[in-house]
């Protein structure tokens, strides 16, 4: 247990993802950027309550990505599966 907490050689702060810390940083940055963009679209064009507008835009984006993947437009994006494969949910 003490070896896991030490800051010695080989210590990785994001060991649960088993990737680079930049992967987690980039994921968080993309999610924050999308939520800000969806909030702007909701505020300017939809005028719904913030929670409802963000949920509807997230649902629309998800359905659009699923549709594009089914049509073959997103075959080159396998990063979402590799991100899920890297997560260690046993801990």
Quick check: is 91 in a domain? Answer: no
- The residue ranking higher by pLDDT, 75 or 44, is 44
Residue 14 pLDDT > 50, yes or no? no
Rounded to the nearest 10 degrees, how much is the dihedral formed by the CA atoms of 62, 65, 66, 71? 160
pTM of the full structure: 0.61
Alpha carbon distance 88, 74 (integer Å):
26
Element (H, E) at 14: none
Q: Is residue 12 part of a domain?
A: no
Q: What is the pLDDT of residues 40-72, one digit of tens each?
A: 999 999 999 999 999 999 999 989 988 888 887
**Mean predicted confidence (pLDDT) in 26-48:** 92
With respect to residue 9, please indicate whether it lies within any of the assigned structural domains: no
Domain assignment present for residue 89? The answer is no
Range of the domain at 42: 17-83
Does 10 reside within a domain? no
Within a domain: 34: yes
Residue 76 DSSP symbol: T
How many distinct structural domains can be found in the chain?
1
Tell me the C-alpha distance between 15 and 78, whole Å.
21
């Amino acid at each position: 247990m003490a070896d896991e907490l030490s800051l010695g050689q080989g210590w990785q702060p994001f060991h649960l993802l088993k990737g680079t810390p930049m992967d987690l940083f980039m994921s968080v940055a993309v999610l924050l950027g999308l939520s800000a963009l969806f909030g702007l679209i909701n505020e300017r064009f939809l005028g719904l309550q913030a929670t409802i507008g963000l949920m509807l835009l997230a649902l629309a984006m998800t359905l659009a990505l699923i549709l594009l993947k089914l049509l073959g437009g997103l075959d080159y994006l396998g990063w979402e599966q590799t991100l899920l494969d890297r997560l260690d949910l046993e801990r």
